[in-house]
Chains A and B, each alone.
Chain A
Amino acid sequence: MNKDSHALELEAELASAQRQSSVYVYEAPVRIWHWVNAAAILVLCVTGYFIGSPPPSVGQHEAYDQFLFGYIRFAHFAAGMILTVGFLGRIYWAIFGNHHARQLFYLPVLNGHWWREIWFEIRWYLFLESEPKKYVGHNPLAQLAMFFFITIGVSFMIVTGMALYAEGAGQGSLYDDLFGWVIGLVGNTQRLHTLHHLGMWWIVIFMIVHIYVAIREDIMSRQSIVSTMISGHRTFKDDRMD
């Protein structure tokens, strides 16, 4: 009896595996960007925090014998450049990649269905829906968050960061020509530093929520999440519609 049920279960599993298929969602450039971007953000947050609040002094040697703060700043600038180039590449791919690659850069605000789906997702996160919906790309709430935290947030950090970099590069430099207007806009760059700091925490908050939700949905939703950003394939756990 017990054996029979086990055999039945196996059979059902096999049948379901045969029926279930995966969809190729995130193409290689998007996946590579995601992980490069994540690494750059991690480096930027850690070094950026230290630039605002330096580690304890290393005062044993002559100044020319060490370059600790210089290296921290170098890591920050290097990661910032990688983030910027990556973001530009991501914009390029949004134009030439598949339609999922475009999701980060627009919000279908005129689409009533999209707003209803956001409401549904909010209800799901408030434990008011017993079963989530299936999405091939980002769910609408995720799209909204990505747009404000990553597309707007990273753009803001690139622009303010480049303006701060232009201060060091000096007037007349390429950075100053491109981003010096930001310095003129805020007047005192002390304000720009403060805004850049707040921007970092904006992205840190996103990181916390993003990682939590990705793992939670990987377990509780009806589709793959974490592995999708590794393989690019979205797999589904059942064959029911929606």
Chain B
Amino acid sequence: MLLSALIFLPLLYAAVIGALPRTEWIRPTALALSLVHLILGLGIFLQFEKGVAALQLVEKTPWLEQFGVHYFVGIDGISLWLVVMTLALTPLVILGSWTSIENRTKTFHVSLFALLTTMLGSFLAMDAILFYIFFEASLIPMYFMIGIWGGPRRIYATVKFFVYTMLGSLLMLAAIIALMLMTAHQMGGQMSASLLDFYQLQIPFVAGEWLTTQTLLMFAFAIAFAIKVPMFPFHTWLPDAHVEAPTPGSVILAAVMLKMGSYGFMRMAFPLFPDAIEYWAWLFVFISAFGIVYGALVAMVQPDIKKLVAYSSVSHMGYIMLGLFAFNIFGMTGGLYQMLNHGISTGALFLLVGMIYERTHSRQISDYGGLAQAAPWFSIVFLIVTMSSIAVPLTNGFVGEFLILLGAFSASKIYGAIAVTGVILGAAYMLWMVKRVFFGPLSPMLSKYSPEKLDMNWREKVLMAPLVVLIFWMGILPNHFLDWSRESLEHLVNNRYTYELSIHEKDGHDGR
């Protein structure tokens, strides 16, 4: 029952928030509920068994029986940390939006909890239709978040975001239906939407031909996920969405929603279409590596801090995809680890940019300068997060980036070498920005504010502390995290062509 509780309790929380009579109760209640939910979520660690590749904590009940659609959720080493990250970020997002979301706080928190349901649902669903519903439904709260609480061009941004993502998902829906029909054909007449059954399918593939089933289906899934990630050239919705989104929207978008794309590759595109993915890997590897360099270069010349961070996401997501497409244990592990790292470091960067924007109402790098002397705590935290983002050893970013590069290099020397140049460019765009924002004499705009007002308050310190701790914890003791995912990742890498996922029966009576 734990997973279902995790998925659906947020809807109850949303109802509670909706029923609150007084506005000033909303934020504390939401924070408390999200913390309770996080603690509940940490309960996974009590039940989840390490060293098992199979699906755990499974719940399965028939839903639309004639189509073989089930309410089917489960967790394994691939989804585990993404779920935990999503849970852990929610209280931080609520705390981070404490003062920045000024109007319609009730609607905001209701949307937030609705979003939580859909995000967790996407990571936990093991039925393709259920997955699709959560995957699509997550767009709606985010659409409102950007559209209601966003910046001046919010409508343009949110429509662009919605239409772009929607377009990809429609292709995926068609492909899911095709796969369901195939299950009926191959598995004795009964249609099924279970991913576990999908994994068993024999999907015809002819190398070199465009119009074979596997290739077409693979592209239908891959384009949907590539837009979500986003991979070059489908990335242009991202900078707009990020710049216009309110801070909590940006954080969730970067930290969690982009990961739905890369997770989709790991969960579906890779094991379902191994031949087609392998055959077309060169294309994905190329656009990943291109995206790393392209995102970094474009980030370098952004005049707006938030846009810079958004383009840095394009670069970082390029790393993640490059790692996954290396198809070896280093790249796959590094890719998964970097998904978490990117969630932490980019999430933290958006929170920090939000904090300073709230005070000065400017995100133009040229307005800043000398912030380090005016706001030392803010600067220290920003610098630590920057180190994580540019993958300095002993921060989490290094572990992920190193493994990805190791994986990429072992798959292809050339792409490994191209990706390594991203290490240089990453340092260049981040440190150049840091230099212009934090160093030098105090800028005229900043000298209008008193230092006490500019620096972090206690709420913001509390909010950033867990992220800083995680940056070093994950950087120094990565095995604490990797140990939980090792089996699942190795299972995926080693059995990519004959992938199947069984259901782990705990003590003989697992909740089915």
Chains A and B belong together in one complex: no
State the A residues within 8 Å of B (CB).
none
